[in-house]
């Protein structure tokens, strides 16, 4: 099957590459010519484990190609995926649909054969209807059907998530579109991935509802962690005790500095906007957004407390900057608010991250970027673990004593064993653990 993917960012590139790997004939399109030139030369625009190798293999097999021409790429394609960004609009937090709409207009102007147009981008409820109107208004005589097929990929695990999904959601309004989408995903049925057919609007909402629910789960355990600190309970035991109830489940109950990333912050805000528009408030999600926002700065204050109440002229080493490990993505990373709180309090901040320092340096010019972990902790008054990269898990406590000014470690991801840290003479604080 010939498939065109419009937008070669995170979602488009991973989806296109995996669909090619299933044997489809895929062209990934982007209007950014430099990005396409890089992709043609094998240079990836993002860091995602396994992606460069999978792209190379599928290009070699002539199943995957790249182009900056949407008009040429959609010719003969039975399915066109829209996978351009839907960032939060400045000012009101609503999803910015200008890229999606521009692509819909361009598809409408160039379509020549019956095509299923699929939104893979996260779009508010009703966007599929809007795309349908754009296609109809263009007067194209060609039959098209608009489908919503949200992605549930986690950065850092995106290829595995695409190939072995928990579910595939297809929101389609007609039989033809359902049949075409079944063919797109047939290779996945062999992996027993459940496919759920719904209306287009339901599919659009499933994506937002899922992300808001996960954000709620994280925020819930984060507040329990705060309570654990007060009542001297251990949040990891509480989470495990809760999670063993199958109705709750053990996943997404890791207390930490608050969620970040390209999806949860923007999708929860966009859901609130939709709810407001339809006068159907989702107060629980409103609370989640506010609690998470407050939490990030509170983590900065937690560090100041561990420093004895003042950060003025103190040197703080930050380990991990990206919003989670195995990505170079700094979007809405909790590290940004934590570091800002420390800088505002007069601290001197040094940071190290295995992949995120380039992007972080652009966002935070006042932070010194170190060449490795031990360079970062040199002469530090406190060390803060913000992102749980594997490379930080076996931190050498002996070297902390040798290199840091004070052996103060604030572990915002509960990576280390408190007893072991204390035995090693580390002044250790974590999240929600006695």
Instruction: Name the helix (H) or strand (E) containing 353.
Output: none
Q: DSSP string spanning 147-198?
A: EE----PPTTSHHHHHHS-S-EEEE-SSHHHHHHHHHHHHHHHTTT--EEEE
**Is there binding between residue 252 and ligand UDX (CB under 6 A)?**
yes
**For residue 120, how many other CB atoms are within 10 A of its CB?**
22
3-state secondary structure 364-391: CCCCEECCCHHHHCCCCCEEEECCCCHH
152, 162, 208, 428: which one contacts ligand UDX (CB under 6 A)?
152
Distant-in-sequence, close-in-space partners of 124: CB < 8 Å, separation ≥ 6: 94, 95, 97, 204, 208, 270, 273, 274
**Is there binding between residue 263 and ligand UDX (CB under 6 A)?**
yes
* Least separation in angstroms between CB 175 and ligand UDX: 28
**Is there binding between residue 432 and ligand UDX (CB under 6 A)?**
no
**Is there binding between residue 374 and ligand UDX (CB under 6 A)?**
no
Phi-psi region of 118 (alpha: psi -120 to 50; beta: other; left: phi over 0): beta
* Least separation in angstroms between CB 343 and ligand UDX: 21
Distant-in-sequence, close-in-space partners of 175: CB < 8 Å, separation ≥ 6: none
* Least separation in angstroms between CB 417 and ligand UDX: 19
**Is there binding between residue 265 and ligand UDX (CB under 6 A)?**
no
Distance of CA 50 to the CA centre of its chain: 17
Task: Give the active site residue among 28, 144, 228, 263.
Answer: 263
**Is there binding between residue 153 and ligand UDX (CB under 6 A)?**
yes
Q: Which stretch binds ligand UDX (CB under 6 A): 50-58, 77-85, 174-182, 210-218?
A: 210-218
Distance of CA 325 to the CA centre of its chain: 11
**Is there binding between residue 264 and ligand UDX (CB under 6 A)?**
yes
Q: How many residues bind ligand UDX (CB under 6 A)?
A: 20
Residue nearest to ligand UDX (CB): 263
Q: Dmax over Cα atoms in the chain, in whole Å? A: 75
Write each residue from 278 to 317 as x if it is in contact with ligand UDX (CB under 6 A), else as -, in one continuous string.
----------------------------------------
Q: How far apart are CA 301 and CA 307, in angstroms?
A: 10
* Least separation in angstroms between CB 372 and ligand UDX: 23
**Is there binding between residue 261 and ligand UDX (CB under 6 A)?**
yes
Distances (CA, A) of 321 to 89, 191, 229, 307: 24, 35, 25, 20
263 noted as active-site residue: yes
Instruction: Name the helix (H) or strand (E) containing 321.
Output: none
**Is there binding between residue 330 and ligand UDX (CB under 6 A)?**
no
Q: Which structure tokens are listed for 186?
A: 């047939």
Write each residue from 163 to 192 as x if it is in contact with ligand UDX (CB under 6 A), else as -, in one continuous string.
------------------------------
**Is there binding between residue 9 and ligand UDX (CB under 6 A)?**
no
**Is there binding between residue 155 and ligand UDX (CB under 6 A)?**
yes
**Is there binding between residue 85 and ligand UDX (CB under 6 A)?**
no
Q: How far apart are CA 314 and CA 147, in angstroms?
A: 55
**Binding footprint of ligand UDX on the chain (CB under 6 A):** 151-155, 211, 214, 218, 252-254, 256, 259-264, 323-324
Which residues define the annotated binding site for substrate?
152-155, 207, 252-256, 260, 324
Which residues define the annotated binding site?
30, 35, 86, 122, 152-155, 207, 252-256, 260, 266, 324, 331
Q: Which residues are catalytic?
A: 263
């Amino acid at each position: 099957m010939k498939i065109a993917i419009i937008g070669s960012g995170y979602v488009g590139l991973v989806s296109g590459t995996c669909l090619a790997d299933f044997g489809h004939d895929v062209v990934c399109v982007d209007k950014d010519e430099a990005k396409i030139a890089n992709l043609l030369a094998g240079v990836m625009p993002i860091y995602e484990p396994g992606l460069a190798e999978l792209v190379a293999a599928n290009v070699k097999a002539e199943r995957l190609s790249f182009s900056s021409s949407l008009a040429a790429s959609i010719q003969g394609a039975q399915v066109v995926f829209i996978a351009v960004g839907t960032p939060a609009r400045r000012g009101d937090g609503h999803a910015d649909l200008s890229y999606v709409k521009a692509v819909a207009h361009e598809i409408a102007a160039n379509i020549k054969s019956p095509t299923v147009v699929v939104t893979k981008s996260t779009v508010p409820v009703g966007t599929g209807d809007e795309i349908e109107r754009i296609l109809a208004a263009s007067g194209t005589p060609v039959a098209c059907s608009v489908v919503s097929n949200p992605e549930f990929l986690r950065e850092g695990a995106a290829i595995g998530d695409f190939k072995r999904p928990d579910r595939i959601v297809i929101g389609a309004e007609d039989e033809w579109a359902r049949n075409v989408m079944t063919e797109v995903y047939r290779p996945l049925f062999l992996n027993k991935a459940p496919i759920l057919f719904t209306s287009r609007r339901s599919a659009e909402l499933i994506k937002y509802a899922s992300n808001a629910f996960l954000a709620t789960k994280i925020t819930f355990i984060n507040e329990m962690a705060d309570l654990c600190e007060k009542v001297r309970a251990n949040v990891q035991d509480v989470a495990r005790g809760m999670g063993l109830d199958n109705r709750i489940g053990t996943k997404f109950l890791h207390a930490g500095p608050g969620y970040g990333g390209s999806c949860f912050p923007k999708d929860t805000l966009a859901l609130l906007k939709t709810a407001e528009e339809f006068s159907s408030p989702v107060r629980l999600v409103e609370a989640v957004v506010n609690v998470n926002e407050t939490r990030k700065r509170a983590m900065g204050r937690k560090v100041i407390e561990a420093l004895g109440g003042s950060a003025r002229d103190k040197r703080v080493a930050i380990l991990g900057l990206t919003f989670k490990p195995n990505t170079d993505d700094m979007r809405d990373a909790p590290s940004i608010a934590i570091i800002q709180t420390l800088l505002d309090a007069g601290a001197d901040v040094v940071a190290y991250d295995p992949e995120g320092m380039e992007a972080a340096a652009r966002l935070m010019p006042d932070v010194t970027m170190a060449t490795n972990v031990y360079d970062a902790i040199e002469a530090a008054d406190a060390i803060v673990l913000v992102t749980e990269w594997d490379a930080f898990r076996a931190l050498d406590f002996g070297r902390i004593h040798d290199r840091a000014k004070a052996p103060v470690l604030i572990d915002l991801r509960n990576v280390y064993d408190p007893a072991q840290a204390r035995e090693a003479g580390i002044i250790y604080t974590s999240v929600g653990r006695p």
